Amino acid sequence: MKGLKPETRGWLEATGFTVRDDSLWLAALTHGSMGEKDDYERLEFLGDRVLGLSIAHWLYERSEAPEGKLAQRLNAIVSRQMCATVARGIGLSEHMRISKQARADGGTDSDNILGDVMESLLGAQFLDNGFAAARDLVHQLWRPALESGAGESKHPKSALQEWAAGNRRKPPEYEVVDRSGPDHAAQFTVRVKVHKVGEATATANSKGEAEKAAAKEFMEKFG
């Protein structure tokens, strides 16, 4: 594997990373399409946990919100879309090592790839410099999202959708399991389930309100 390009090293350091072990950072920026022994996948696994704990720590220190609300904000802030947004903000795509074919297929602007590489860089920062340095950098790079109140007042269905995505689950499935009463005063019971997590039900006087209530109930139970 080649060494880090001077412009890539300069970019990493200007962004706030501290580069000691070149091989870590090369791996963190290398997409599987390059066919090299070390790519970003293992570091992304680690960085995902570094990010989650860093954001959870920030929210715990600065909010008196109950656990369910903290989880809602956490899931919005560590979502794949948010990671990709942060990645675009620091100009990550220009420094990814990705094959010509994957680049031609739009890989450098893929939320999934950008989000994964962003997390892999956090994994490298943790291994090369320790948790405190990684946490402080997360707080710096995610500050706009943290201070904007992201995830604070989302519609329950949106919050559940983000929660499922953030936890690598299939999208929630809603089903009307009962309808009762006359047309002018109908009652709908809706069940929402997330594969391999669980389900929740709620009843309201419209299908939409029942879905909303079921999503809220689900988040309170499992979020």
Separation CA 140–CA 150 (nearest Å): 15
Q: What pLDDT sits at residue 153?
A: 55
Q: What pLDDT sits at residue 162?
A: 80
Active-site position among 39, 44, 116, 119 = 119
Q: Are 121 and 47 in contact (CB under 8 A)?
A: yes
pTM over 0.85: no
Q: What pLDDT sits at residue 151?
A: 62
Q: What pLDDT sits at residue 21?
A: 95
Active-site position among 39, 48, 128, 217 = 48
* Phi/psi of residue 50, nearest 5 degrees: -60, -45
* Helical (H) or strand (E) element with 58: helix 41-62
- CA 73 remoteness from chain centre: 11
Structural domains for the chain: 6-148 (1.10.1520.10), 156-222 (3.30.160.20)
Strand order in the sheet with 173-180: 173-180, 187-194, 198-204
User: If the chain, 223 residues long, is cut into consecutive pieces of 10 residues, what is the mean pLDDT of each piece?
Assistant: 86 96 96 92 97 96 87 88 94 94 90 96 98 97 84 74 84 94 89 95 92 92 84
Q: What pLDDT sits at residue 137?
A: 96
Q: What pLDDT sits at residue 215?
A: 93
Report the Cα–Cα distance between both ends of the chain, in Å, rounded. 42
* Helical (H) or strand (E) element with 193: strand 187-194
Does residue 119 have an active-site annotation? yes
**For 38, what's the count of Cα atoms within 13 Å in the CB-facing half-sphere?**
13
